[in-house]
Structure 1
Amino acid sequence: MKEKGRFLKKYRGNECLNCHVPLDVIDRYCHNCGQINTTKKLSFKDFFNEFFASIFSYDSRLRHTVVGLLFRPGMISKDYIEGRRIKYANPFRFYLSVSILFFIISGLFIDFDTIITKNNDQDNQALAVNLSNQDQQKSTTTNDSILKSDNKDDNDYVYFSEKQLDTMDMFTALNKRWKTYKSHYKKTEQLSASIALDSLKHSKNGYTKYLYKRSIRTKNLNENPMELLKFVFNKLPFIIFFFLPFFALTIWIIYIRRPFNYMEHLVFIFHTQTMFFILMGIAILIDQITKSEVASSIAMFIFLFYLYKAMRNFYQQKRAKTIVKFLLVNVLFFILASIGSLITIIGSMFIF
């Protein structure tokens, strides 16, 4: 590599300016702390030369990593765990970078209003078809009864005093308190928890204020579920990141007889999940150009085939065993994803 700028030998000192360790003129970097061995003052030109050099250096690792992921499924993970790492980006950091980029792209192009409007239109069309197949008189009577029932519910006002709640067990009291707060907000639309609790003559503490605010959120979410959908979607990068270690644990159990430790399975998981984000990110962009959802469907099938090939190359097992474990992995992933989604939705109701 040709030396220039601050790397020239004439600027090298005999002592590290950072940690004061003795150095020789042949030392480009301090062998103790890693700082550049130079006495030259930093100039504008030097600063930008080093800046772009670091970008191109990372770009080289980026290129090798992307090419390895695309055309050598599973082998990049095998190289990494066997110590051939210098030309590849760190799998954990690279995963985070790609996932953030993916969710930025999907966030820009996914229209939650359109999704919910489309679902509502489909529900309305289905309802219209069902009503048209029924007797008009019966339909009118049924609708009238439904309206009366709704009006009755609207007029109901649930109230339990603090004294009554104190006589109940914990779970019953929680349920009755929740209904009281929802009913009070429905009638008064009072947003202030303190004012509402004063009106209800309930004790004002962190617990009761929290419950009242949650009851308001729950009612608003029933009327506008898109807000919860957006909230959950924005948290997905972090949710998936913390979910993957549990998935790696299931992979470790499936391949418990193979000579891989937990962290090596986790490297494989991060690489395959990164590939999933790359494929789906490209597919979303193509779908936006073509105004269809064909590319996303194709990308999903490509990823499934990719995952099979990655498992075959990384774990080095025969085709029959790999197919069985591939199916098992997908079933377990679906189960874990369902549990994770349920926990996320329930948790979001309390922190949104």
Structure 2
Amino acid sequence: MVRHFSSIIGDLFDTLLAFDSRIWKTVPALLFRPGFLTAEYFSGRRVRYVSPVRLFIFLCITSFFVTQLNSDWTISWGNGVVDVEDAGRGYDDALKDISRLKEEQVDNSNSYTVTLLEEVERDLIDGKVALSGDLDELNEQLGGAEGETEASENLSKQQLASGLNETINEIDEEFFQVKWLPNSVEDWINRKVESAHENVERVTEDPNRFKKAFLGALPSTLMVMLPIFSMILWLLYIFKRRLYMEHLIVALHSHAFICLSILIANLFYSASKQLDQYTFISSLFDNLILLLVLWMPIYLFWMQKRVYGQGWFITLCKYSFLGLIYLILLSIGASFTVLWSLAEL
């Protein structure tokens, strides 16, 4: 049977995300109703919503892909040089206007006005010469000479490269210096660490290359963190006698919400930049991003309270402990991701 291309695309989305009426029920509930999807899943009402695994995987990959497109990690080394030609263009434009006005007044035989215009013209020329001299002196004081600027930029790059190399060494010493590792594993780790050191220079020259590798590796890091997060929940609520898989569903929905928030924040940020000339609309999107950032911790706390049904104080204590432990683990995971991204450039 020959099918339309649109139907094939529909099948693809349906396979990945069940992209039909369920998505319109799932996403608003995920964003605005903490714990609702998890409670519905535990109650057996699952068919009407996108499955937690599909939802998380799709939002995770999509959010970090959009972040890649929406961010620029180019480094401005900030040499502090003032362009004399740019500074003098205003004087040139003014001199052109004065010259045009002077010709008109000559045609009108207005000698007094011509004399005044000539005085203004001389003042502008003197001002431009004085400005040029002052800016040259300023650039010398700021190290604006070409050789000094290049030396300053090289020094900044060396400092960045030194910091990255120190970070790689710290990760290697803290986590990989294990005596009982098999020789093959140790050799593989040493190759990766050496490759990361070699790629540091490429990162200082083109940080966006590292951005692409780092953000591309983050979804895998989050997927690795999911079972660890679920295990922490299981330990915190061990007396609730819930199955580990129930905690995993909570983890999937909470991480899916975080990824959805990142995706929406990127869209708001992009809209704010595109509509920068409209101050009110741009500030509106900026405020929406701020509200979204504030909503995230409130949402996750409310979700934990609703799913596990304990008191506010107990939930707050467990929520704070969970957040602290998870931030530490996430920092370690991010460090591994940095090392892996550098090694795989």
Instruction: Give the TM-score taking structure 1 as reference length.
Output: 0.56
Q: Distance in 2 between matches of 1:43 and 1:348?
A: 43
Q: Of residues 263, 266, 277 in structure 1, which corresponds to 2:248?
A: 266
Alignment-mate amino acid for residue 229 of structure 1 = K
Alignment of 1:337 with 2:310, yes or no, is no
Picking from 327, 348, 351, the partner of 2:341 is 348
Aligned partner of residue 94 in structure 1, secondary structure: helix
Separation in structure 1 between the aligned mates of residue 297 and residue 196 of structure 2, nearest angstrom? 41
1:250 aligns with 2:232: yes
Q: Does the 8 Å contact 1:287/1:294 carry over to 2?
A: no
Counterpart of 2:315 in structure 1 is 322
Deviation sequence 1:102-135 (CA, Å, 0-9, x none): 122212211122xx32xx44x979xxxxxxxxxx
Counterpart residue type for residue 240 of structure 2: R
Per chain length, whose mean CA-contact separation is higher, i.e. which structure has more relative contact order (CA < 8 Å, sep 6+)?
2
Aligned position for 1:217? 199
CA contact (8 A) 2:23 2:49 kept: yes
The answer for the alignment partner of 2:265 in structure 1 is 283
Cα distance, 1:304 vs. partner? Answer: 0.7
1:302 has 2:295 as partner: yes
Letter matched to residue 233 of structure 1:
L
Using a 3 Å threshold, how does the CA distance of structure 1 residues 209 and 242 change in structure 2: closer, same or farther?
closer
| One-letter identity of the residue aligned with 1:347 | W
Distance in 2 between the 1:249 and 1:211 partners? Answer: 30
Report if the CA contact (8 A) 1:112-1:230 is conserved.
no
Match of 1:73 in 2: 34
Counterpart for residue 61 of structure 2: 100
Counterparts of 1:337 and 1:107 in 2: how far apart (Å)? 20
Deviation of 1:294 after TM superposition, in Å, equals: 4.5
Report if the CA contact (8 A) 2:218-2:337 is conserved. Answer: no
Change (3 A) 1:331 1:290: same
Identical residues among aligned pairs (%): 26
If the length of structure 2 is used for normalisation, what is the TM-score?
A: 0.57
Q: Does 1:89 align with 2:71?
A: no
Partner of residue 70, structure 2: 109
Deviation at 1:214, TM superposition (A): 5.7
Q: State the Cα deviation string for residues 270-305 of structure 1 (Å, max 9, x = none).
A: 111111222222222112222375543331210111
Question: Which secondary structure does the structure 2 equivalent of 1:85 belong to?
Answer: coil
Q: 2:340 is paired with a residue of what secondary structure?
A: helix
Q: Which runs of 5+ in 1 are unaligned?
A: 1-41, 126-135, 137-142, 154-205
The unaligned stretches of length 5 or more in structure 2 are: 82-140, 142-147, 159-187, 274-282
CA-atom RMSD in angstroms: 4.0
- Name the count of aligned residue pairs: 232
In the alignment, what sits opposite 1:61? Answer: 22
Change (3 A) 1:252 1:347: same
Tell me the SS of whatever aligns to 1:257: helix
